[in-house]
Homo-oligomer: A and B are copies of this chain.
Amino acid sequence: MLAQEILDKGAKARRAADALALFSTTAKNQALAAMAEALLAKQEEILAANAKDIVNGKQAGLGEALLDRLLLNEKRIASMAHGLGQILALPDPLGDILKGWMRPNGLQITQKRVPLGVIGIIYEARPNVTVDAAGLCLKAGNAVILRGGKEAIYSNLKLAEILALACEKTGLPEHSIQLIESTDRQVAHDMMQAHGLIDVLIPRGGASLIQSVVKNASVPVIETGVGNCHLFVDASADHEMAIQIAINAKTQRPGVCNAIETLLVHASHTHELLPKLLRQLAAAQVEIHGCEETCKIFPEAIPAKEDDWRTEYLALKLAVRIVPSLDAAIAHIRDYSSKHSEAIVTQNYANAERFVNALDAAALFINASTRFTDGFEFGFGAEIGISTQKLHARGPMGLEALTTYKYIVRGEGQVRV
């Protein structure tokens, strides 16, 4: 038997979702505007609630980084309100007719984009996810059940209360936005098992959270996250371009999933391009974990172990391997890739095509940085996350990822023979 809070909120969310699906874009945008205003108007209440979390976090011995993620201030609240305004400005994904055709018996079939229904979001310490997820789900016509980290419980309760009230005041269905109040782990587990009550679960956070949801959920999950991304510098690569892309893909923001973790370099570059590139990476504070050949030409490199090829460092570290051919690079990537983002730098047409056709990943880049795997950089105007699974949505997810479709079949009395 599921926890009572899950049963209650699940049933309320379903009723809200049924009603919400019929509201216009204008009505949803009014709610988003009201939600943004309410955050600014109730800043004091939010800061007071957040202060409780910060005190509790310090007592519990949370580290600096975690306390910083937890912390809200005027600027961060303004930024959350601004984010809702950006969601408001996005086109409504609903109502599009994706396909339509007529059958020989005269039936007219249309495939129409509709909301997913009830979305569950499980996340960690950052309270801004509460606002962002609520706004995105609402814009796509979904009811949302939020379950944040226990460290942020007072902040999240206050934020959810403000958002839900503002939303309801504009006439949208009550319970469109709900937050799980219990911080009991069993309740989160029951949320993952709420098959039939929740249509899809999206975990947002670190690898261990995501793995726990994937492992325990009977509700369909959209998996996001892990990126063990590669850059291959082909024999024909433009040297300056290879250096620019490698430096960008590793150092522009090393802690994110679309940064590269392994650099594969064609053996023809061993004595000219590669040493130059490694010196520039080292100058940018990147720790090199090199294959045997790499260590020979760049003695500062740490010898790479098997594990280095598998590791998502999320730090200024880079595994480097010299490979004899494009096919050897493809074989390496097939063995170790998490199928997130892979890039080649090349001037050779056949090699560019082979790389993007032979490899299986959410995004494959020719002569561009892997850092572009991102909802905003793709032009989606929003990002729910970057899907690393193959069902439903792959790669950067915009609002469309929060929708499904239904078939509407119009007839004149047709029966099946």
Contact = CB atoms under 8 A, between A and B. Distances in A.
Given A360-B21, A406-B364, A407-B362, A200 B390 contact: yes
B361 A406 contact: yes
Given A22-B358, A222-B391, A334-B18, A413 B241 contact: yes
A389 interface: yes
Contacts of A116: 390-391
Interface stretch (A73-81, A83-91, A365-373): A365-373
A412 interface: yes
Interface in A214-253: 214-215, 218, 220-223, 238, 241, 244-245, 247-249, 252
A199 interface: yes
Contacts of A223: 220
A17 B358 CA distance: 10
A199 B407 contact: no
A416 interface: yes
A390 B358 contact: no
Interface string A342-376: 00000000000000111011111111110111000
Contacts of A248: 415-416
Contacts of A411: 365-368
Contacts of A334: 18
A195 interface: yes
A220 B389 contact: yes
Contacts of A238: 413
B404 A390 contact: yes
Contact of A416 (B22, B252, B390, B404): B252
Nearest to A410: B366
Interface residues of A, number: 69
B220 A391 contact: yes
A411 B372 CA distance: 11
Interface in A388-410: 389-392, 394-396, 404-410
B369 A406 contact: no
Contacts of A414: 367-369, 372
A189 to B, nearest CB: 13
A271 interface: no
A114 interface: yes
A99 to B, nearest CB: 10
A117 interface: yes
Contact of A244 (B199, B365, B368, B413): B413
Interface stretch (A46-54, A101-109, A129-137, A148-156): A101-109
B413 A367 contact: yes
Nearest to A387: B404
B413 A372 contact: no
A237 to B, nearest CB: 10
Interface of A: 17-18, 21-22, 101, 103, 107, 109, 114, 116-117, 195, 199-200, 214-215, 218, 220-223, 238, 241, 244-245, 247-249, 252, 334, 356-358, 360-369, 371-373, 377-379, 389-392, 394-396, 404-416
Given A252-B415, A363-B408, A368-B411, 7 more contacts: A116-B391, A199-B390, A220-B390, A248-B415, A367-B410, A392-B392, A394-B405
26 contacts: A18-B360, A21-B360, A22-B358, A103-B377, A117-B360, A214-B218, A220-B221, A220-B390, A244-B413, A248-B416, A363-B406, A364-B406, A365-B411, A366-B410, A367-B410, A367-B413, A368-B410, A368-B412, A368-B415, A371-B416, A373-B407, A390-B404, A391-B392, A394-B406, A395-B406, A395-B407
